[in-house]
């Protein structure tokens, strides 16, 4: 599946506005999918397009296209290629006759709908890029994202209403409590259902947001489900109530009161938020390829058959050997479709006609000849009903239960093993802070699913994420499986009691009324936890500005105790620097039982699920 982008010089000649649009749109597309840049007729004539590719070109203001371009369009049409004609002005709205019923992307109309001028052509170039990306890989991204608007009603209601209306103008599906809940309905239940079904959360952080229990809950749920959050901080920076749950270390956007008054007239502010939301959710969706690679590895290791049936829609047939029996048995056969986002209700049945076209026609009386159709998505959809043959499941849960079926002994272990997670947001741009959240999420999930214990120090983002994940994956023993260390220097007895509802809390004493000495005592106690068998380091502040990284102290304590140490470098920050140091000395100091190659993978890979499994396997959980 490729996108072929024809330079405007090959259709409309020299046109500065078209060339600017081309450069912006092309650059954005190539961030996500393979795009071929066609700037000469020679290249155009040498290309062999295939079904499911897309061709993007600019319309002329007449039908006087050169013969080579028309020959290329004819070939593309014969191969059932999708066309994306672009109308750069009102005079260019009619596409080539050969392109059939393809609707042109009208740049002027796209600007008008957003109340923008031609100076904002970048915004609509991004909009077209999004459309093309979603058409090429429909299960990874959706043009009309499901956006959940999280806001405090008392001082954010008008702004949320403005955001909601602007999102709807752009054909985005947004949820806002006052609009989308009918009188008499269970408001909070509906709010949480829509939150769990969203592709991204836009958090409008007004000065009174920190007072709201519901915002705290919404952010906690989003973090525990690994739903991307775009943090938009607005209003006065002084006299704000601190947030109990922080989506990241710093917000993606900050708008002061003066800027807020311009939102209704400067619609590019809203488009910037939508573009950021798409990029963050798209980045999250790309992890589906890591899951597929892990599935291939499991298949190869266990004699399974994995066959790709449909590249565009990411559909695979999986054959799993059944348990040994006296007589021959056919393998378990499953059809899985891989999503980088949560499938929408109307998409749950869309796989059926695709399978029929592939020859998987069910018997009129006995039904399909495969066992189950499974839609694999990034988040859980609740309990799976194993009495039906069509279900939605999180990709991680599917891989976990698949491995449990193939090797039951691997998952029957004592719960007396715990991993210390040492993590803090690094000093980096907000976009890249999501990597740390993803890593903590994957590691925590792997520990819980392996019947281990999560041991960590208090953190305004991660403690709520881990609390909720504990209840989700260890509902019967989450209190025992989650061990949180705090220093009384930072928390009151009342807060310790409140946190104790979610985990086992170990509160260490204040040392000489000194912050650093009190932290050291807490870290010593955490590393010395009787359940701790390893330390995993992620992120952390660097030494810039005279800061003393806590990661360094925890590594020194772990070495003194003889604990294996695993350093995740790709999240950035101090752990990246430490991993680089070990790499420079050739990993001559042995800090764990992994090979040099595996430690380099911990340093560089973004596949946090595979890295977590590698750590768990190394510790013989």
The string of DSSP letters for 593-613 reads: SS-HHHHHHHHH---HHHHHH
535-548 pLDDT, tens per residue?
999 988 877 766 67
Q: Give residue 366's Cα distance to chain centre.
A: 39
Helix (H, G, I), strand (E, B) or coil at 202: strand
Residue 26 has a pLDDT of: 94
The answer to whether 141 and 285 are in contact (CB under 8 A) is yes
Domains 146-284 and 288-411 share a fold: no
pLDDT of the residue at 461: 67
d(CA 549, CA 569): 15
pLDDT of residue 225: 84
CATH of 288-411, one of 1.10.3470, 2.60.40, 3.40.1350, 3.40.50: 3.40.1350
Q: Which residues of the chain have pLDDT under 70?
A: 171-172, 176-187, 264-265, 380-388, 410-416, 460-461, 545-547
Strands 390-394 and 418-424: unpaired
Sign of CA dihedral 325, 330, 335, 338: positive
> What number of other Cβ atoms are within 10 A of residue 16's Cβ?
8
In this structure, what DSSP letter does residue 57 have?
E
Distance of CA 325 to the CA centre of its chain: 42
CATH of domain 3-136: 3.40.50
Q: Which of 202, 180, 205, 203 shows the shortest CA–CA distance to 191? A: 180
- Contact criterion met (CB below 8 Å) for 426 and 541: yes
Which is nearest to 466 in space by CA: 493, 439, 498, 431? 439
Q: Which long-range contacts (CB under 8 A, 24 or more apart) does 397-401 make?
A: 398/336, 398/374, 399/291, 399/294, 399/295, 399/298, 399/609, 400/449
Please choose, from the candidates 374, 309, 375, the residue with its C-alpha nearest in 3D space to the C-alpha of residue 339: 375
- Integer Cα distance of 430 and 272 in angstroms: 14
How much is the pLDDT for 182? 46
* CA geometry: angle 311, 314, 318, nearest 5 deg: 105
Radius of gyration of the chain (CA): 27
How many whole angstroms separate alpha carbon 253 and alpha carbon 164? Answer: 17
Pairing mode of beta strands 305-310, 200-205: unpaired
Q: β-strand 35-38 against 390-394: which pairing, if any?
A: unpaired
580 sits in which H/E element? helix 573-584
Dihedral class, residue 19 (left if φ above 0, else alpha if ψ from -120 to 50, else beta): alpha
Spatial CB neighbours of 60, under 8 Å, sequence gap ≥ 6: 11, 12, 92, 96
Predicted model pTM:
0.79
Rounded-to-integer distance, Cα 54 and Cα 84, Å: 7
Can you spell out the DSSP letters for 413-443? --S--EEEEEEE--SS-HHHHHHHHHHHHHH
Q: How far apart are CA 394 and CA 408, in angstroms?
A: 20
Query: Residue 455: beta bridge partners?
Result: 420, 483
Please say whether the dihedral angle defined by the alpha carbons of residues 495, 496, 497 and 498, taken in this order, is positive or negative. positive
Q: Which CATH number fits domain 146-284: 2.60.40.10, 3.30.590.20, 3.40.50.10140, 3.40.50.720?
A: 3.40.50.10140
Per-residue confidence (pLDDT) for residue 115, from 0 to 100: 73
Pairing of strands 315-320, 305-310: antiparallel
Domain 418-618 belongs to what topology?
Rossmann fold (3.40.50)
Domain ranges in the chain are 3-136, 146-284, 288-411, 418-618
Q: Is 51 helix (H, G, I), strand (E, B) or coil?
A: coil
Query: Is 83 in contact with 55 (CB distance < 8 Å)?
Result: yes
Cα–Cα distances in angstroms (integers) from residue 212 to residues 30, 208, 235, 245, 501, in the given order: 41, 7, 17, 11, 19
What pLDDT was estimated at residue 180?
57
Give the whole-angstrom CA distance, residue 334 versus residue 295.
13
The label of the residue with tokens 């509160």 reads: 507
């Amino acid at each position: 599946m490729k996108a072929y982008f024809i330079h405007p010089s090959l259709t409309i000649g020299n046109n500065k506005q078209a060339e600017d649009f081309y450069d912006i749109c092309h650059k954005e597309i190539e961030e996500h999918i393979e795009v071929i840049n066609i700037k000469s007729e020679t290249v155009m004539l040498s290309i062999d397009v295939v079904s499911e590719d897309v061709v993007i070109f600019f319309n002329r203001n007449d039908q006087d296209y050169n013969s080579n371009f028309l020959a290329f369009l004819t070939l593309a049409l014969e191969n059932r290629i999708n066309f994306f004609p672009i109308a750069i002005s009102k005079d260019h709205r009619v596409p080539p006759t050969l392109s059939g019923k393809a609707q042109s992307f009208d740049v002027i109309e796209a600007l008008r709908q957003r109340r923008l001028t031609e100076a904002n052509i970048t915004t609509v170039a991004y909009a077209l890029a999004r459309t093309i990306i979603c058409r090429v890989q429909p299960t990874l991204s959706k043009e009309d994202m499901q956006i959940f608007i999280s806001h405090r009603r008392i001082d954010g209601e008008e702004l949320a209403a403005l955001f909601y209306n602007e999102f709807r103008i752009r054909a985005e599906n947004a949820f806002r409590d006052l609009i989308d809940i009918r009188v008499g309905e269970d408001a909070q239940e509906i709010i949480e259902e829509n939150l769990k079904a969203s592709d991204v959360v836009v958090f409008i952080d007004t000065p009174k947001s920190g007072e709201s229990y519901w915002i705290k809950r919404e952010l906690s749920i989003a973090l525990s489900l690994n739903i991307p959050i775009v943090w938009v901080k607005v209003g006065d920076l002084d006299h704000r109530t601190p947030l109990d749950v922080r989506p990241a270390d710093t917000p993606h956007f900050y708008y002061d009161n003066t800027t807020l008054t311009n939102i209704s007239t400067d619609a590019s502010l809203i488009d910037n938020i939508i573009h950021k939301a798409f990029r963050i959710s798209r980045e999250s969706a790309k992890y589906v390829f890591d899951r597929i690679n892990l599935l291939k590895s499991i298949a190869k290791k266990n004699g399974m058959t994995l066959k790709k049936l449909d590249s565009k829609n990411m559909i695979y047939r999986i054959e799993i050997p059944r348990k040994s029996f006296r007589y021959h048995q056919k393998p378990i056969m499953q059809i899985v479709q891989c999503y980088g986002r949560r499938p929408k209700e109307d998409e749950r049945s869309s796989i059926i006609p695709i399978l029929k076209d592939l020859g998987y026609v069910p018997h009129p009386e006995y039904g399909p000849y495969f066992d189950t159709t499974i839609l694999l998505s990034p988040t859980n959809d609740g309990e799976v009903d194993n009495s039906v043959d069509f279900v939605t499941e999180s990709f991680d849960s599917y891989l976990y239960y698949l491995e449990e079926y193939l090797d039951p002994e691997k998952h029957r272990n004592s719960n007396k093993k715990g991993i210390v997670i040492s993590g803090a947001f690094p000093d980096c741009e907000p976009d890249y802070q999501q990597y740390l959240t993803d890593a903590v999420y994957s590691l925590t999930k792997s520990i819980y699913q392996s019947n281990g214990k999560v041991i960590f120090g208090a953190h305004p983002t991660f403690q709520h994420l881990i609390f909720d994940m504990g209840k989700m994956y260890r509902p019967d023993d989450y209190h025992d499986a989650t061990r949180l260390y705090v220093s009384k220097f930072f928390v009151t007895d009342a807060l310790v009691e409140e946190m104790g509802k979610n985990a086992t809390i170990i509160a260490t004493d204040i040392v000489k009324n000194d912050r650093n000495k009190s932290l050291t005592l807490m870290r010593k106690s955490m590393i010395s936890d009787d359940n701790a068998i390893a330390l995993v380091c992620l992120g952390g502040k660097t030494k810039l500005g005279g800061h003393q990284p806590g990661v360094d102290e925890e590594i020194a304590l772990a070495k003194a105790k003889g604990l294996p140490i695993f350093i995740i470098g790709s999240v950035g920050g101090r752990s990246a620097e430490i991993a680089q140091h070990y790499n420079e000395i050739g990993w001559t100091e042995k800090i764990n039982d992994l090979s040099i190659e595996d430690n380099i993978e911990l340093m560089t890979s973004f596949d946090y699920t595979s890295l977590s499994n590698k750590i768990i396997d190394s510790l013989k959980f």
